Amino acid sequence: GLSTAAALAPRPPVTGAELRSAVPLPPPFQVPLPIPAVLKPVGTSGGADRYRITQRETSAQILPGVTTPLWTYEGTFPGPTIESRRGRPVTVTHRNELPVPTVVHLHGGRTPAASDGYPTDLVLPGGPHAHPGRAHAGHGMHDPRAVVTDLTRDYTFPLDQRPALLWYHDHRMDHTAPAIWRGLAGMHIVRDDAEDALGLPAGPRELPLMIADRAFAADGTLAYPALPEGPGVREPYLAGVLGDVILVNGAPWPVHETDAARHRLRVLNASNARHYELEAVTDDGRRLDLVQIGADQGLLAAPVTHRSLPIAPAERYDLVVDFSGVPMGGLVRLVNRLGSGRTRDVMAFRIARAAADDSRVPRTLSADLPDWRRPDAVRVRDFAFRAGRMRDGHGWLIGGRPFDPARPDVVTRLGDVEIWRLVADVHHPVHLHLVGFRVLSRRGRPPLPHDAGLKDTVSLRPGESVEIITRFDGYRGRYLFHCHNAEHEDMGMMANLEVV
Ligand code: C2O
Ligand code: CU
C-alpha cells in the first residue's frame, strides 16, 4: 500500500546530470550501423537449441582514436542476438570470465524462476581474475590450486510466448546499472509462423536497434560515477546516469545506407536512465509516420500511427517506417526530441537506392492479445514509486520500502488477474518479470496511443498514476518487479513478486 514514509521523502532530482565525455566526439552519421551477429547454436536436439555465451572483458574502438574496455557477452557490445521460434526451448550456458559475479535475466521472457536471473542467483567469476578461495564454499576452499568449477550456469527458456524483441542483461543485486553500462546487454528475438506470414518488411529491411547513451573518460574508458558513498557523489548517481554519446548497436550516431522502401525498426531503449522521444525527420524537415506494429510483448491487434514516440528505459517498440517518398541520396534522421545538443541526434538512414517493395502492414496484426477486463481482477494493489530514506542515505523505494530479498512483497496465486495502481514522484519505468500486462488508465484517463498492446515495462512520468492489469500465469516461483532506471533499481527500487 501507499506508505506514509513516501510523504516524508526528500525532494528527488527529476533528471540526472549528464556526464560529459573528455574525448573529442565524432560528427554524426559517419559510422555504418552495426548489426549484432546472430548467435549459432552449439547443439540442437529434441526440438531445443543449446547456446554458449562467455562473459568476458574486451576492448573496442567505439570512438575514433581511443580504445574502450568493455564487459561483454561473447566479446561484443551489444552481445550476439539470439533468434528463436515460439515454443522451441533454448538453453544458454553462460560462462563468467569477468572479474565479478554476474546474473543473467532475459527481459520479457516467460521463464521458470530458476532461470529468471534472481539478483542473488550468481554466476561466479572463473576467469583469470578470480580468486579461487573467495569464489564459493564447496570447491576450491581447501586447496587454493583447485579449479573453480561453478563458473558456468545453464539458463533454460521455454519461450512459450508471443513473438517479440526480448533482451538479456545483467541483474546482479546492487550492481546491475554499472554492469549494463560496461556492456552486458544483448537482444533475443522470438518469431512464429503467424508473424512471418504477415508480409512485414524482413531480411535486410528488418533492423534491431539497441539505443544506449554512454560517456567516455579521457583514456577511452566508459565514465561512470563512483558508487554512492558521500553526499558529493550521490546526487548524479541518484537520478540515474546519463551520457552525452548516443550509441545504436554500440556505434556512435551511426548511419545506415538502405533502400527507398518500408523498414521494420525494432527499437530497444537499453539506456540506464535516458528517456527519448523519437521522430524520423527528412532533410527538408518532413516528419515520417512511425507506424507502430508491436509493443514490448509483441504485435498489436492493429497498427497505431505516431508522429513521435516516447521510449523509456527497457521499453521496445516495433515500428514500420516508409522511406519510399524520400529523395534519392536523402537522409532521414532519427531524432530525440527530449535531447539537446548532441543528444538530439540518434542515428540516420541514407536512402541510397530505389527498390521494389512487396512488404505490407496488414490492418489486423494479431488476434491473440489477452483482453483482461476490470471485472476479471480478483484484487487491486497500490504501489508508490518514490524517493525515500534508506539506512545509508537516500534511495528509491516501492511502497516506502527498499528491496529486501528476504521479504515477500507480493504473493499472488497462479492464474489470478490483478489490477495494479502505480504512482510515481519522478520518471520511473516500471517493469514486471514473468508476465505481460495491459495499461488500463493513465492519470485516471484512457491510456495513450503508445500504451497499446501487451507490455512488460510502463513509463510513469513525474507525478503520474497508471493502472495496469495482468494475469499471473505461466510459472510459480519468486520473481521481481522494479523500476528500470537501472540506478534506481540498484538503489532499492525493486520488490519480490511471488506466484504460488
Ligand atoms: Cu530488464 Cu528485471 O529487468
Ligand atoms: Cu525509477
* Model confidence at 157: pLDDT above 60: yes
Domain co-membership, 324 together with 452: no
One DSSP character per residue, 52-96 reads EEEEEEEEE--STT--EEEEEETTBSSEEEEEEETT--EEEEEEE
* Model confidence at 7: pLDDT above 50: no
- pLDDT-derived band at 150 (thresholds 50, 70, 90) equals low
Residue 257 lies in a domain: yes
| Number of domains comprising the chain | 3
Q: Which residue has the cell 476490470?
A: 374
Q: Identify the pLDDT of residue 389.
A: 78
Q: Enumerate the β-bridge partners of residue 264.
A: 206, 320
Q: Identify the pLDDT of residue 133.
A: 39
One DSSP character per residue, 226-250 reads PPS-SHHHHHHHHH--B-SEEEETT
Q: Which residue has the cell 541483474?
A: 171
Closest listed ligand to the CA of 491: 2
Residue 360 lies in a domain: no
Domain co-membership, 187 together with 212: no
- 175 CA to centre of ligand 1 in angstroms: 13
Q: Which residue has the cell 580468486?
A: 131
Q: Which residues contact 99 (CB under 8 A, 6 or more apart)?
A: 57, 125, 127, 129, 130
Domain co-membership, 120 together with 161: yes
pLDDT tens per residue, range 85-130? 999 999 999 999 999 999 999 999 999 999 999 999 999 998 654 5
- pLDDT-derived band at 394 (thresholds 50, 70, 90) equals confident
Counting every residue, how long is the chain? Answer: 500
Domain co-membership, 491 together with 378: yes
Domain co-membership, 432 together with 381: yes
- pLDDT-derived band at 15 (thresholds 50, 70, 90) equals low
Domain co-membership, 187 together with 263: no
**CATH assignment of the domain containing 170:** 2.60.40.420
Domain co-membership, 219 together with 289: yes
Q: Enumerate the β-bridge partners of residue 304.
A: 292
- Residue ending a domain, among 192, 215, 249, is 192
* Radius of gyration over every alpha carbon of the chain, rounded to an integer in angstroms: 22
pLDDT tens per residue, range 172-197? 999 999 999 999 999 999 999 999 99
Q: Identify the pLDDT of residue 17.
A: 76
Domain co-membership, 135 together with 273: no
Domain residue limits at 162: 43-192
Least confident range from 59-73, 385-399, 474-488: namely: 385-399
Q: Closest by alpha carbon to 181, among 260, 98, 270, 74? A: 270
> pTM score, two decimals?
0.93
Q: Identify the pLDDT of residue 236.
A: 59
Percent of the chain with pLDDT over 90: 86
Residue 22 lies in a domain: no
Pocket of ligand 1 (CB under 6 A): 105, 107, 169, 171, 314, 431, 433, 480, 482, 484
For the chain, give the mean pLDDT.
91
**Mean pLDDT to the nearest integer, 152-166:** 97
Domain co-membership, 283 together with 385: no
Q: Identify the pLDDT of residue 16.
A: 62
- Residue ending a domain, among 192, 219, 245, is 192
* Model confidence at 487: pLDDT above 70: yes
Ligand 1: which residue has its CA nearest to atom 1? Answer: 107
- 398 CA to centre of ligand 2 in angstroms: 10
* Model confidence at 318: pLDDT above 80: yes
ipTM: 0.98
One DSSP character per residue, 139-178 reads SSSS-TTSPP---EEEEEE---S--EEEEEEE--TTTHHH
- 353 CA to centre of ligand 1 in angstroms: 39
Residue 363 lies in a domain: no
- 60 CA to centre of ligand 1 in angstroms: 26
pLDDT tens per residue, range 350-362? 999 999 999 999 9
What is the bridge-based pairing of β-strands 345-354 and 255-260? Answer: parallel
Using a CB cutoff of 5 Å, list residues around ligand 2, an ion.
428, 483, 485, 488
What is the bridge-based pairing of β-strands 262-269 and 316-322? Answer: antiparallel
Closest listed ligand to the CA of 170: 1
- Residue ending a domain, among 309, 328, 354, is 354
DSSP character at residue 273? S
Residue 362 lies in a domain: no
Domain co-membership, 181 together with 274: no
Residue 282 lies in a domain: yes
- 27 CA to centre of ligand 1 in angstroms: 33
Helix H or strand E encompassing 268: strand 262-269
Domain co-membership, 303 together with 395: no
* Model confidence at 141: pLDDT above 50: no
Query: % helix / strand / coil in the chain, to the nearest 5?
Result: 10, 45, 45
Residue 141 lies in a domain: yes
Q: Identify the pLDDT of residue 233.
A: 43
Residue 463 lies in a domain: yes
Mapping DSSP to helix (H, G, I), strand (E, B) and coil, where does residue 294 land? strand
